[in-house]
Amino acid sequence: MRRLGLLIVTALTTLTTLTSFTTAAEAADPTNVAHRGASADAPENTLAAFRLAARLGADMFELDVQETKDHQLVLMHDTTLARTTDAERVFPGRSPWQVGDFTLAEIRKLDAGSWFGSRHDGEPVPTLGETLREMDGTGLGLLLEIKAPQLYPGIEGRVAAELRGNPAWLRQGRLVVQSFSWRSMRTFHRRLPQVPVGLLGTPAVQDLPALAAYATQINPPYQDLTRAYVRHVHSLGMQVFTWTVDDPATWRRMASYGVDGIITNRPGMT
């Protein structure tokens, strides 16, 4: 009887220890990633938004990379210039204003800030190289999304070359490259295998082991997440960065699931 009692006490102690470990892990502060910079308070994908993210206490900033007609890497979320620049006014006959139909010199003529507010008049569309150099001394990490790579054959190699030209970003822990195109991420991984790769979306649980062969992160929308899914990803040695969380209650819920990072338009919210 005494032996049975000792076994029960041991089991309860072990369970309590495991529960405490899980709770502590799940309560850890996730990495605060500024989505397109502090995009709730400054024009997205601009140096103004990235600088503000640093001032607001973000750990990382996220940006979107596309390619111009002359194969220069610029920051733009949409595949057209219309929403976040004055391209319709400057180039009225160039509808639908696809990013890839314009040279860098033409995109330099655009205002990427006035749509957000007059205090940002004249804010330019930055290149990836300019952004890497400008943000190098801030201490922030970078989550770099290759946007619509099917429109820009070879973009993975050009992004890799730009990163090699700014080697400070290749230090461990500073950089993750992600995309909705998992094929593109396999290609990028072959180019720069030392750089962690993130897969945007919510792969089926049965597909996760194969993806873990080259991916470091699985990055789903927060609406898709459960604790069980996060644990499946973690069990394969990958991280979870979720998006896009702009209210404190959802932030706390995602943190309780044990996610490793939260992508937000409001990095100062926490």
* 86-105 residue pLDDT tens: 999 999 999 999 999 999 99
Residue 26 and residue 4: Cα distance in Å, rounded?
Answer: 33
Q: What is the CB-side half-sphere exposure of residue 248 using CA atoms within 13 A?
A: 3
Domains and CATH numbers, the chain: 30-264 (3.20.20.190)
pLDDT at 8 over 60: no
Name the amino acid, one letter, at 190. Answer: R
Q: Annotated catalytic, 234?
A: no
φ/ψ (deg, to 5) at 77: -80, -55
Residue 176 and residue 174: Cα distance in Å, rounded?
Answer: 7
Catalytic-role residue among 77, 120, 232, 234: 77
Q: What is the mean pLDDT of residues 51-63?
A: 98
Tell me the CA distances in angstroms from 203 to 150, 198, 220, 230, 261, one per residue in order: 20, 12, 8, 12, 18
Catalytic-role residue among 35, 71, 189, 234: 35
Q: What is the mean pLDDT of residues 216-220?
A: 98
**Is 53 buried (19+), middle (13-18) or exposed (0-12) by CB count in 10 A?**
buried
Confidence of residue 56 (pLDDT cuts 50, 70, 90): very high
156-179 residue pLDDT tens: 999 999 999 999 999 999 999 999
Q: Annotated catalytic, 120?
A: no
pLDDT at 28: 72
15-50 residue pLDDT tens: 333 333 333 344 479 999 999 999 999 999 999 999
232-265 residue pLDDT tens: 999 999 999 999 999 999 999 999 999 999 999 9
- As a three-state string, the secondary structure of 109-134 is CCCCCCCCCHHHCCCCCCEHHHHHHH
Q: What is the mean pLDDT of residues 214-238?
A: 98
Does the pTM of the predicted model rise above 0.85? yes
Residue 246 and residue 254: Cα distance in Å, rounded?
Answer: 12
Q: Alpha-carbon torsion 164, 166, 168, 170, what sign?
A: negative
Alpha-helical segments (H) within 116-206? 128-135, 155-164, 182-191
118-132 residue pLDDT tens: 999 999 999 999 999
192-217 residue pLDDT tens: 999 999 999 999 999 999 999 999 99
pLDDT at 179: 98
Compute the mean pLDDT over every residue in the chain, rounded to the nearest whole number.
92
